Amino acid sequence: MALFLINRYLGEEEECRDDDSQSRSKALLAKLQEQARARQQQKTPKGKETEQPGLPVQIDTPRGKQKKTGGEQESTDVEKKEEEKYNARWSRKDPQDNVSDGNSEKPLKSKKRKKAPEGKGKPEEERPAEDGRGKDPGSEEGRDSEETVGEMKEEISEQRETPVQSKDQNQSQSCFTVLGGFEKKAVQKVYRVLPHWLAQPNLIHRDIKSNLVPVVDVPGLCPRLLKKLESCGIQHFFPVQAEVIPAILESAPHGMLVGRGGYRPRDICVSAPTGSGKTLAFVIPVVQMLMKRVVCEVRALAVLPTKELAQQVRKVFCMYAEGTGLRVVMMAGQKSFALEQASLLENNGTGSRSLADIVVATPGRLVDHINKTPGFTLQHLRFLIIDEADRMIDSMHQAWLSHVVKAAYKGGRSSELGSLFRRAEPGPITAASLLSISVILYNLLLIYIHKMRNSTNLDLQSQSLLKKCHTTLLKTQAAFSLAHLLNEYFVPCTLNSKPLIILDFILRLKFSPVLCFTNSREASHRLYLLVRLFGGVQVAEFSSRLSPNERKKTLKEFEQEKIQLLISTDATARGIDVSGVKCVINYDAPQFIRTYVHRVGRTARAGKAGLAFTFLLGVQEKRFLQMLKDAGSPGIQKQIIKPEALKALVPRYEQTLLELETAIQEERATKHI
Ligand SMILES: Nc1ncnc2c1ncn2[C@@H]1O[C@H](COP(=O)(O)OP(=O)(O)OP(=O)(O)O)[C@@H](O)[C@H]1O
């Protein structure tokens, strides 16, 4: 029978006295043997007895099914003898054992295991009762010992329940694997390492005016577009355009498939201040690279968060695509779904034909067309432009992106590309990947403001979209990407003085046109009614209360400076390009820095100067200023409006408040009719 050894921790004393360890082991073993024997004795009367008259009693013990002949008295005598022999053999007994006798399992469980080197164990001659060696195997004593050891093994393996030990139970002592040697180590700190393109972005200047680049100095532009730019009055490119346009055109001579050095062309991620000319930065190269296409297919897709923004971008695409044969189609829900479908595809009997080269879309409508317009495919897509990317990817609409990526990489008409050209998701260059020409999908991400001021803030979604090693990040060196010529002020005020201050700005200080932001459409409407009732100011509101057509008309009038004060919700804050906004007023303080940056970004655009005022109640001041400070704002100044300056407006204002209540009640009444 194979031997095994269980080394266990026997208390603190054991640790100190190494030479005592073996005797303790013996003592423990003896104790276990004794307990096993006692248990066996207890079990005996409960065993199944088959008593036949005239024959000796046969007792079936539950475990060992050990047969005993003779009466019970005989059996007790034999056991007594055994006990005497046993006591003689194990004369040294640990005093602790006497204590633990009554409850044999407790000490075992509470004792820790002792580490022992592999193969180390007691010499064989020191373990007389462990394996029953040296005894007659047929004798009662030998069998008893064997059984006792067997029981002990069972008991110990039950208590330990370690798979390694139960597996090794039958292995010889030399093969026994001693567990342990695991030292407690302090967990090492994990440092985040940014990919190179994120850690070392290409910096672009924030100051537009002093960093203009003559259009003719930008390499790679075709004469047709140079002419077009001239006719649109653009002689210089803004810094972001001077960087992005050549970066995209880089692969133009190689037909969009190969970038610099034979690598796949790089994705581009741009983080630049509001009004720095990002739209033109992608419109010009996309138009130039697609203008020589032969077959009309959807090759560029620009996705924007709102209809207004989509409309704005479509306008710029149309302007520069004019005369090239490229078709620009908008899918933003401004027309009915069927009309949009008709502008996207034409049925020519044998199948459908694309009518769009460049699609400008909002996410919701785009997904609808991917799923519900038969024949609409993004399989030929070369440019995916995500404007306002931080908002688009963060937003709840983010599922749209997976639809687009799926449609681009697994287009419905996949066979049409043929075996030579295929689209494979970017990955490592392998022999297999070089077998066919991969149709590249360029990702252009336009991300703004503070989100990128610390590159680590670029969210993972954006990072995974931009195929990390093939990306160029262009960002301004400024910590906080606000327009260079923007002057920021905060105005301490009370709830009552807020409308008076606005009226003062327009009527006395002659600020116009002014874009004023509130935090809700109800607040916008109330302020609009108040200013209208006060009189003397050309005022309009801009919120989801208006229909898309009304909003379009309002923006146009504002742009034409027919409106002095436009009161808006955050609907206009993002991306809307209204040239000539001199002043932005945050009537309600913005909750988030991102909102603030986009609101104030409606002024000081395209290298012009602008003013931004934020009205702050006493309780808001600390938090707001801290928010700007945390975001690394270059500095906001305090502008105090003296009560005397507002005094002249007060009587009319009080009268207006009364009129306002009546107007609101009338409005409510007409709503209910
Ligand atoms: N090279 C240029 N020369 C003169 N004006 C330009 C030039 N490029 C862009 N503009 C004008 O600058 C304004 C702002 O441009 P654009 O809307 O593209 O900025 P943006 O960076 O996209 O702003 P936002 O971040 O707010 O969306 C537009 O009115 C545009 O016509």
> Of 211, 228, 235, 278, which is best to mutate to test ligand 1, by the most ligand atoms within 8 angstroms of its C-beta?
278
What digits encode the pLDDT tens for the residues 64-90? Answer: 444 444 444 444 555 566 556 555 555
**Residue 588: per-residue pLDDT:** 95
Residues in contact with ligand 1 (CB, 6 Å cut-off):
234, 236-238, 241, 274-280, 448, 575, 577, 579, 601, 605-606
Same-domain status, 507 and 606: yes
**Residue 284: per-residue pLDDT:** 93
> Of 237, 388, 577, 579, which is best to mutate to test ligand 1, by the most ligand atoms within 8 angstroms of its C-beta?
577
Same-domain status, 442 and 517: no
pLDDT score of 194 more than 80:
no
- 492 within domain boundaries: yes
**Residue 69: per-residue pLDDT:** 42
404 C-alpha to ligand 1 centroid (Å): 27
Nearest to 447 by CA among 472, 428, 418, 426: 472
Q: Residue 276 CA: which ligand 1 atom is closest?
A: 21
The string of DSSP letters for 47-85 reads SEEE--TTS--EEE-TTT-----S-HHHHHHHHHHHHHH
365 C-alpha to ligand 1 centroid (Å): 26
| The three-state (H, E, C) secondary structure of 531-578, written as one string | HHHHCCCCEEEECCCCCHHHHHHHHHHHHCCCCCEEEECHHHCCCCCC
Say which range, 175-179, 533-537, 661-665, has the weakest mean pLDDT: 175-179
Q: Take atom 5 of ligand 1 and give the residue whose Cα is closest.
A: 606
Q: Residue 407, exposed/middle/buried by CB under 10 A (0-12, 13-18, 19+)?
A: buried
More confident residue, 192 or 239: 239
- Reported confidence tier of residue 175, pLDDT bands at 50, 70, 90: confident
**Residue 452: per-residue pLDDT:** 38
**Residue 95: per-residue pLDDT:** 41
User: Residue range 609-636: average pLDDT?
Assistant: 87
275 C-alpha to ligand 1 centroid (Å): 5
Q: Residue 312 CA: which ligand 1 atom is closest?
A: 17
**Residue 51: per-residue pLDDT:** 40
Q: Is 472 helix (H, G, I), strand (E, B) or coil?
A: strand
Q: Residue 606 CA: which ligand 1 atom is closest?
A: 12
More confident residue, 152 or 190: 190
pLDDT score of 448 more than 70:
no
**Residue 114: per-residue pLDDT:** 42
Query: Domain boundary residue among 447, 466, 500?
Result: 447
- 401 within domain boundaries: yes
Using DSSP bridges, classify how beta strands 352-354 and 345-347 pair: parallel, antiparallel or unpaired. Answer: antiparallel
Which of 128-137, 144-153, 292-301 has the highest mean predicted lDDT (pLDDT)? 292-301
517 C-alpha to ligand 1 centroid (Å): 21
- Reported confidence tier of residue 360, pLDDT bands at 50, 70, 90: very high
**Residue 126: per-residue pLDDT:** 40
Domain that holds residue 563: 486-670
Residues sharing a CB contact under 8 Å with residue 152, sequence separation 6 or more, in sequence order: 29, 32, 33, 36
User: Residue range 389-413: average pLDDT?
Assistant: 68
Using DSSP bridges, classify how beta strands 236-237 and 610-616 pair: parallel, antiparallel or unpaired. Answer: unpaired
CA distances from 408 to 106, 182, 329, 343 (A): 67, 51, 18, 20
607 C-alpha to ligand 1 centroid (Å): 9
Query: Domain boundary residue among 425, 447, 469?
Result: 447
- Reported confidence tier of residue 514, pLDDT bands at 50, 70, 90: very high
pLDDT score of 281 more than 60:
yes
- 42 within domain boundaries: no
Q: Residue 234 CA: which ligand 1 atom is closest?
A: 3
Same-domain status, 492 and 442: no
Q: Residue 212 CA: which ligand 1 atom is closest?
A: 1
Q: Take atom 9 of ligand 1 and give the residue whose Cα is closest.
A: 277
> Of 208, 230, 279, which is best to mutate to test ligand 1, by the most ligand atoms within 8 angstroms of its C-beta?
279
- 432 within domain boundaries: no
Q: Residue 237 CA: which ligand 1 atom is closest?
A: 1
- 298 within domain boundaries: yes
d(CA 220, CA 245): 9
- Whether the CB-CB separation of 418 and 450 falls below 8 Å is answered with no
**Residue 382: per-residue pLDDT:** 83
Q: Is 274 helix (H, G, I), strand (E, B) or coil?
A: coil
**Residue 141: per-residue pLDDT:** 42
225 C-alpha to ligand 1 centroid (Å): 17
- 36 within domain boundaries: no
Say which range, 55-64, 316-325, 357-366, 434-443, has the weakest mean pLDDT: 55-64
**Residue 408: per-residue pLDDT:** 79
More confident residue, 184 or 170: 184
Q: Residue 607 CA: which ligand 1 atom is closest?
A: 12
**Residue 551: per-residue pLDDT:** 85
- Whether the CB-CB separation of 540 and 628 falls below 8 Å is answered with no
- 537 within domain boundaries: yes
- Whether the CB-CB separation of 303 and 385 falls below 8 Å is answered with yes
Number of domains in the chain: 2
271 C-alpha to ligand 1 centroid (Å): 14
42 C-alpha to ligand 1 centroid (Å): 96
Cα 341 from chain centroid (whole Å): 34
Q: Take atom 23 of ligand 1 and give the residue whose Cα is closest.
A: 275
Say which range, 350-364, 413-427, 588-602, has the weakest mean pLDDT: 413-427
Q: Residue 316 CA: which ligand 1 atom is closest?
A: 31
CA distances from 669 to 23, 527, 660, 662, 665 (A): 99, 19, 14, 10, 6
**Residue 576: per-residue pLDDT:** 74
**Residue 94: per-residue pLDDT:** 44
Say which range, 114-128, 226-240, 539-553, 603-617, has the weakest mean pLDDT: 114-128
580 C-alpha to ligand 1 centroid (Å): 12
592 C-alpha to ligand 1 centroid (Å): 24
- 394 within domain boundaries: yes
The string of DSSP letters for 160-212 reads H--HHHHHHTTS-GGGPPPP------PPPPPPP---HHHHSPEEE-S-SGGG-
Same-domain status, 502 and 443: no
- Provide the residue count of the chain: 673
Say which range, 8-12, 108-112, 328-332, 423-427, has the weakest mean pLDDT: 108-112
Same-domain status, 551 and 642: yes
pLDDT score of 118 more than 60:
no
d(CA 486, CA 415): 53
> Of 276, 311, 314, 559, which is best to mutate to test ligand 1, by the most ligand atoms within 8 angstroms of its C-beta?
276
- Reported confidence tier of residue 278, pLDDT bands at 50, 70, 90: confident
- Reported confidence tier of residue 472, pLDDT bands at 50, 70, 90: low
The model's pTM is 0.62
User: Residue range 606-631: average pLDDT?
Assistant: 89
Backbone φ and ψ for 254, nearest 5 degrees, come out as -100, 10
d(CA 573, CA 577): 9
Q: Take atom 30 of ligand 1 and give the residue whose Cα is closest.
A: 277
220 C-alpha to ligand 1 centroid (Å): 21
270 C-alpha to ligand 1 centroid (Å): 14
276 C-alpha to ligand 1 centroid (Å): 5
User: Residue range 236-247: average pLDDT?
Assistant: 88
Same-domain status, 520 and 442: no
Q: Residue 215 CA: which ligand 1 atom is closest?
A: 1
279 C-alpha to ligand 1 centroid (Å): 6
Residue 165: CB atoms within 10 A of its CB come to: 19
Q: Take atom 3 of ligand 1 and give the residue whose Cα is closest.
A: 234
Task: Report how far apart the first and last C-alpha atoms of the chain are (Å, whole number).
Answer: 99
Same-domain status, 443 and 500: no
Q: Residue 13, exposed/middle/buried by CB under 10 A (0-12, 13-18, 19+)?
A: exposed
Same-domain status, 321 and 388: yes
Residue 576, domain CATH: 3.40.50.300
**Residue 415: per-residue pLDDT:** 43
d(CA 544, CA 541): 10
**Residue 128: per-residue pLDDT:** 40
**Residue 566: per-residue pLDDT:** 94
Q: Residue 575 CA: which ligand 1 atom is closest?
A: 27
Say which range, 28-32, 251-255, 528-532, has the weakest mean pLDDT: 251-255
Backbone φ and ψ for 193, nearest 5 degrees, come out as -115, 125
543 C-alpha to ligand 1 centroid (Å): 23
Q: Take atom 7 of ligand 1 and give the residue whose Cα is closest.
A: 277
- Whether the CB-CB separation of 605 and 483 falls below 8 Å is answered with yes
**Residue 578: per-residue pLDDT:** 82
Same-domain status, 408 and 490: no
What digits encode the pLDDT tens for the residues 495-509? Answer: 989 999 999 999 988
User: Residue range 537-555: average pLDDT?
Assistant: 87
Say which range, 247-261, 328-342, 447-461, 497-511, has the weakest mean pLDDT: 447-461
> Of 204, 226, 230, 238, which is best to mutate to test ligand 1, by the most ligand atoms within 8 angstroms of its C-beta?
238
Same-domain status, 396 and 508: no
Backbone φ and ψ for 507, nearest 5 degrees, come out as -80, -40
What digits encode the pLDDT tens for the residues 87-104? Answer: 555 544 444 444 334 343
- Reported confidence tier of residue 391, pLDDT bands at 50, 70, 90: low
Q: Residue 448 CA: which ligand 1 atom is closest?
A: 25
Same-domain status, 379 and 233: yes
Same-domain status, 443 and 515: no
241 C-alpha to ligand 1 centroid (Å): 10
More confident residue, 318 or 7: 318
416 C-alpha to ligand 1 centroid (Å): 38
**Residue 432: per-residue pLDDT:** 55
